[in-house]
């Protein structure tokens, strides 16, 4: 009687342990370890993300630093270029102004020469006319046109010599 | 508490009376539990039935407690855990770390078994410290005879499970030939083969001694602690209900934990001894594991 009860009790205890084992295997080592592993993975992922972002930021910083340096250099080059262009432009303008001024001077000289020549002719004509009139009045005789012109030319030549 | 003490006293008184009449009892000295109390209140054949199957009732209670706690903890397992989930996860993680620490990375697959073993024994040990409850690990059925032999049914069952599990692991990992080779002392030369008739019985006795060692270490430690508490409860009754047993209850909490740990540790060591160690590069790690196992065995032996 006692022997069979002992064996029955041992069997029941074994069965009881098996029940606990399967329950805990499912709940404790299934779900809870799953949750722990999921958390661990999540933390690992977060850390790797942070590392990745840190690396990205470092790359970005490096990139921006490089770009800034390039921008400064480019700015310097552009300022230099602009300065050169400005100088060239100023030189061109100066040259052009000088040429224009020279042209204007030349034109003015030419005009003056023309005007002078015109004035000279007019004046000669006027002097001739005037001298003819004066001469007529002095000598009371009328000079013909050819004679008159000859006298004027001689007079002008004398004046020019003076 | 006074009701608990009074019932303890009643149990001891009943035990004394029974001894005087030369009657057979399940345990030598223990505090009364609620199943016994119900059995005595009901009386008759139903009461006897209750008394007879009290271990199974307490076994079911332990299963229900563990099932309830872990069901509640894992029902809505969150990435951001609550208090219960955190506590259970801490226990599970600690057990996993403990087993993996001895068996290495391959130990993770043995964690459910060894962890369950620890939790089951620990709960059974601790539950006996509550008023009107009983530890199945301290339970035994005495076989009548010229020398009464106590059979601790629960610890026998647990030790048998471990024994069968360990042998199955040995056969599964080493193969039947490898297992027999291991049992024969791994003979590789003439001297080895000559030693087989000695080594084989030694290994067989060694393997068979393990369940006995597991059974009686756990049973005797827990039963001893419970007897100590019962004695001090008896003293408290005689000394105007001064709770002398209180310090020993705290001591018993430690003992219960240590014994559950020792049982699990030894089971882990037995598994470690059955795992193959064939790769040269793993040799260092294996020898390290065996050193740990050996030191753990020494430590457990001291307890």
Distance from CA of A77 to the nearest CA of B (A): 57
Query: Is A17 part of the contact surface with chain B (CB cutoff 8 Å)?
Result: yes
DSSP state letter for B136: G
Number of domains in chain A: 1
B157 contact residues in A (CB cutoff 8 A):
9-11, 13-14, 16-17
Looking at the partner chain, which of B77, B143, B161 has a beta carbon nearest the beta carbon of A35?
B77
E strand or H helix at B66: helix B54-75
Residue B219 has pLDDT above 60, yes or no: yes
Position with higher pLDDT, A29 vs B21: A29
Distance between CA A64 and CA A15 in Å, rounded? 69
Output the pLDDT for position B289.
47
- Once rounded to an integer, what is the mean pLDDT over residues B281-303? 48
Q: Find the residue in A nearest to B73 (Cα).
A: A32
A9 with B144: Cβ contact below 8 A? no
Contact yes or no for A145/A129 (Cβ under 8 A): no
Residue count (chain B)? 303
Burial of B59 (0-12, 13-18, 19+ CB in 10 A): buried
Position with higher pLDDT, A104 vs B242: A104
pLDDT tens column, A45-73: 999 999 999 999 999 999 999 999 899 88
A2 contact residues in B (CB cutoff 8 A):
141, 143-144
Q: Which domain holds residue A92?
A: 2-161
Output the pLDDT for position B30.
67
Distance between CA A24 and CA B163 in Å, rounded? 20
Looking at the partner chain, which of A13, A28, A42 has a beta carbon nearest the beta carbon of B157?
A13
Residue B68 has pLDDT above 80, yes or no: yes
B143 contact residues in A (CB cutoff 8 A):
2-3, 6
A31 contact residues in B (CB cutoff 8 A):
74, 77
Is residue B278 very low, low, confident or very high in pLDDT (cuts 50, 70, 90)? low
Looking at the partner chain, which of A13, A23, A28 has a beta carbon nearest the beta carbon of B153?
A13
Query: Is A42 part of the contact surface with chain B (CB cutoff 8 Å)?
Result: yes
State residue A94 phi and psi, 5-degree precision: -60, -45
Number of C-beta neighbours around residue B234 at 10 A: 20
Phi-psi region of B68 (alpha: psi -120 to 50; beta: other; left: phi over 0): alpha
Looking at the partner chain, which of B66, B73, B161 has a beta carbon nearest the beta carbon of A14?
B161
Residue A153 has pLDDT above 70, yes or no: yes
The interface predicted TM-score (ipTM) is: 0.72
| Rg of chain B in Å (alpha carbons) | 23
Contact yes or no for A149/A135 (Cβ under 8 A): no
DSSP state letter for B108: G
Output the pLDDT for position B296.
52
């Amino acid at each position: 009687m006692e022997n069979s009860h002992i064996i029955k009790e041992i069997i029941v205890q074994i069965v009881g342990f098996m029940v606990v084992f399967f329950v805990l295997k499912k709940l404790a080592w299934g779900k809870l370890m799953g949750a722990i592993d999921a958390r661990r993975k999540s933390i690992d992922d977060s850390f790797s993300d942070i590392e990745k972002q840190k690396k990205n930021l470092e790359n970005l910083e490096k990139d921006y630093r490089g770009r800034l340096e390039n921008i400064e250099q480019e700015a310097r080059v552009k300022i230099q270029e602009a300065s050169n262009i400005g100088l060239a432009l100023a030189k061109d303008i100066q040259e052009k102004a000088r040429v224009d001024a020279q042209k204007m001077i030349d034109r003015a000289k030419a005009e003056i020469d023309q005007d002078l020549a015109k004035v000279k002719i007019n004046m000669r004509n006027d002097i001739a006319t005037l001298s003819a009139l004066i001469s007529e009045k002095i000598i009371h005789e009328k000079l013909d046109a050819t004679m008159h012109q000859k006298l004027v030319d001689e007079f002008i030549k004398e004046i020019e010599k003076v | 508490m006074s009701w608990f003490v009074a019932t303890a006293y009643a149990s001891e008184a009943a035990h004394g009376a029974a001894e005087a009449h030369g009657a057979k009892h399940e345990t030598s000295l223990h505090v009364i539990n609620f199943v016994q109390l119900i059995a005595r209140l009901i009386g008759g054949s139903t009461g006897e039935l209750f008394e007879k199957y009290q271990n199974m009732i307490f076994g079911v209670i332990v299963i229900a407690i563990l099932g309830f706690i872990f069901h509640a903890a894992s029902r809505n397992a969150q990435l951001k855990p609550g208090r219960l989930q955190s506590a259970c996860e801490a226990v599970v993680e600690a057990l996993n770390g403990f087993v993996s620490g001895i068996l290495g990375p391959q130990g993770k697959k043995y964690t459910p078994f060894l962890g369950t073993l620890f939790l089951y024994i620990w709960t059974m040990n601790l539950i006996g410290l509550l008023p009107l409850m009983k530890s199945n690990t301290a339970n035994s059925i005495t076989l009548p005879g010229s020398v009464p032999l106590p059979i601790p049914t629960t610890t026998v069952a647990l030790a048998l499970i471990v024994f069968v599990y360990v042998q199955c692991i040995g056969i599964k990992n080493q193969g039947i030939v490898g297992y027999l080779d291991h049992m024969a002392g791994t003979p590789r030369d003439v001297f080895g083969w000559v030693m087989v008739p000695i080594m084989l019985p030694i290994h067989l006795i060694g393997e068979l001694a393990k369940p006995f060692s597991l059974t009686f270490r756990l049973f005797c430690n827990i039963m001893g602690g419970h007897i100590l508490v019962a004695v001090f409860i008896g003293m408290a009754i005689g000394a105007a209900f001064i709770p002398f047993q209180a310090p020993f209850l705290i001591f018993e909490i430690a003992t219960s934990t240590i014994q559950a740990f020792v049982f699990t540790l030894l089971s882990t060591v037995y598994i470690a001894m059955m795992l193959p160690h064939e790769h040269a590069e793993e040799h260092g790690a294996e020898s390290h594991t065996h050193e740990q196992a050996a030191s753990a065995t020494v430590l457990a032996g001291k307890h």
